[in-house]
Amino acid sequence: MASDPDPVQDFCIPYTPKPDSRRIAQLSSLQQCKNASEANADDFIFSGIKSAGDFKESGFSAMSINSKAFPGLNTLGMSFVRADFDLGGINVPHFHPRATEVAMVLEGKVYCGFVDSANRIYAKVIEKGEVMVFPRGLVHFQMNVGDSPATIYGSFNSQNPGLQRIPAAVFGSGIKDELLKKAFGLSGKQIDEMRRKLKPKEENQS
C-alpha cells in the first residue's frame, strides 16, 4: 500500500485549469493533467543539477528532484537526487520510507553503506562509475574519503521517497530528555547541545 500507484496514461504534466476549462485529463480527485497535445519536450527535460547546491556544515549538499521541481516526473513513480561532498563531507545516517535508492558515484571516492534489520552493516568505499543500492526503509549513509570533492547521483523508485535523518529525528523532534538519557547514556547538557544543533530548519536555519 505504500508503493506508488501504476500510471493509467503515458504521462501527466500537472495542470491547474481555469474553473470553466474542460481540456484536462483527470487522474484523481487531487491531480489534474495537461491535455497530452499541450505537452512539449521541455516538460520532460530538467537542467537544474548541472552544478552543486549550497553546502551544509557537514560538507554535504543535496538537490532532490521530485515532481514539484520537475513536473515531467509526475505519476511515473521515480525521483532523483544530486549529492555533493566536500573533503570529509558526510551524508548522515538516514532512510527513505517509500523507496529503494540506487546511487552511482560520478566523481571521487565515497564510503557508502546501510544497516539491515538485524543490525548487520554492509559498507564499502566505491569510486567513480560504481553503484550501490540501498533497500527501501533501511538506514544508510555516505562519507567522502578521497582527497578531492565527490559527487553521487541517486535514483528512487518513488515519486515521493520521503526522508528521515536519524540525528534530527532523534534530537530535533521533541522526544523527552529522560528517554534520550536512558537510550543513549547522555547527560542533560549533552542532549541540550544536540538539540541546539539539530533544531528544525524553521527555528535555526535560513
| 57 annotated among ligand-binding-site residues | no
Q: Residue 101, annotated ligand binder? A: yes
Domain match, 198 and 137 both? no
The pLDDT of residue 1: 55
pLDDT of 63 above 80: yes
pLDDT higher for 10 or 157? 157
In a domain? residue 172: yes
Mean of pLDDT values over 170-197: 92
Q: Both 132 and 184 in a single domain?
A: no
Q: Is 91 annotated as a binding residue?
A: yes
Shared domain for 93 and 142, answered yes or no, is yes
Would residue 112 count as lying in a domain? yes
Q: How confident is the model at residue 34 (pLDDT cuts 50, 70, 90)?
A: confident
Q: For residue 11, tell me if it sits in a domain.
A: no
Whether 86 and 147 share a structural domain: yes
Same domain? 118 vs 137: yes
Residues 125 and 186 in one domain: no
Number of domains making up the chain: 2
In SS3 terms, the chain reads as: CCCCCCCCCCCCCECCCCCCCCCEEEEECCEEEECHHHCCHHHHCCCCCCCCCCCCCCCEEEEEECCCCCHHHCCCCCEEEEEEECCCCEEEEEECCCCCEEEEEEECEEEEEEECCCCCEEEEEEECCCEEEECCCCEEEEEECCCCCEEEEEEECCCCCCCEEHHHHHHCCCCCHHHHHHHHCCCHHHHHHHHHHCCCHHHHCC
Could you tell me the residue range of the domain that residue 177 belongs to?
168-204
Let me know whether 145 and 175 are in one domain: no
pTM of the complete model? 0.81
Looking at the structure, tell me whether residues 176 and 151 fall in a common domain.
Answer: no
d(CA 174, CA 168): 10
Domain end (from 157, 176, 192): 157
Beta pairing partners, 114:
122, 140
